[in-house]
Structure 1
């Protein structure tokens, strides 16, 4: 009789452990399903349809720690080229043009403004890309055109979409490219190749000209 009672106790213990294990697995499976569901929630991207949204998204071109003090210029939603926001630091943000498809905003060191403004002026006059290049080349060589500080940078934030996340201000699918201006630098003076050797590899573009610059294209985020 004693052995029979012991056997009953052992069987009851095993059944209890089995049920406990199954409950834990059920709980874990439920948590996994909830996590997967959360991961599948899509970001709520919306059109950039106001000057405020345009400014916020375009400021993503600037370094995060400098965005609060950047001056922002460019076309507003009405199609006018204006100062969208005043600033007090070393950067100027050129906002995306809402009249063009996709998204393309730039942030550059303020010492580059004469060079950038001259390009906008010549483009407004109807000059072509090659004509603008030749005019600025001549003016830079003569000293008429200020090319800014050696090593001044341009940050570009661009993509094919014009949808943005109003919470983070990120534009759908956009990524970065960086330019370091070194007027009249060459492959020999910098040690950089004239073509990229691979993804994310720096190289020098327009070597030997006023527009010589180092190109750096970070790999897109996963």
Structure 2
């Protein structure tokens, strides 16, 4: 009887050990499917990295800047801005209502803008004052006075499209800058929260609000959420 009991106990120990070994093996060794998935993900990531190019030519500046403009208007936009040599020039002539300001290659990150040509005197005045060494507050005050006198004008509803991000690599096939996104500014000179019904601070992400209310630079801010946040 003792021999029979001993045999059962020994058999149980062997079964337990085998089960334990199988469990350890299944945990430590990834399945073929998991390995294939990881490899595919890694290859896809490498493919994306290979597609990206650093913005280092005037052609790159033009291509990426145009992403700030509405897609249907990009072919006719005039493109201005600093070239790779550091000169402020017309990078490309245009024939429609939009002017695109290319990213400044000498600044960190990426920032391009597109605006209606009627805004060019206002924008050019700001650039000229900045070149003279005026501070942001001084530029604001000077243009405020010139708007009040009628020397400068902004048509209410004129829109500024801003395409910005922290990186300076892009996909040459699509011209999209890595991780960049759009923001919109709708100019409404002298408007206030009371006259528009818009809050002075955004109530939540992705909500419009009014900035610089009651001044010449009063404008509606619209900052869409990044695509991966939707």
> Shorter-chain TM-score: which interval?
0.7 to 0.9
Q: Deviations over 1:2-27 (max 9, x none)?
A: xxxxxxxxxxxxxxxxxxxxxxxxxx
Specify the alignment match of 1:211 in structure 2. Answer: 217
Write the distance in 2 (CA, Å) between the matches of 1:37 and 1:144. Answer: 58
Q: Secondary structure at the match of 1:57?
A: helix
Match of 1:53 in 2: 60
Structure 1 residue 182 corresponds to structure 2 residue 173: no
Structure 2 gaps of 5+ residues are: 1-32
Ranges in structure 1 where 5+ consecutive residues have no aligned partner:
1-28
CA RMSD across the alignment:
1.6
Give the structure 2 partner of residue 191 of structure 1.
197
State the match for 2:88 in structure 1: 81
Once residues 182 and 205 of structure 1 are traced to their aligned partners in structure 2, the CA distance between those partners, rounded to angstroms, is 10
Residue 91 in 1 paired to residue 116 in 2? no
Partner Cα separation in structure 1 for residue 85 and residue 172 of structure 2:
21
Shift, 1:218, TM fit? 0.4
1:144-183 → structure 2 map (5 Å cutoff):
144-147=151-154, 149-183=155-189
Q: Which residue of 2 aligns with 1:110?
A: 117
TM-score by length of 2: 0.80
Alpha-carbon distance, 1:36 to partner: 5.3
Question: After superposition, what is the alpha-carbon deviation per residue over 1:32-75, rounded to whole angstroms, capped at 9, x for unaligned?
Answer: 85975775442421111110011000100001111000000000
TM-score relative to the length of structure 1: 0.82
Task: Name the structure 2 match of 1:126.
Answer: 133
Instruction: Give aligned pairs, total.
Output: 192
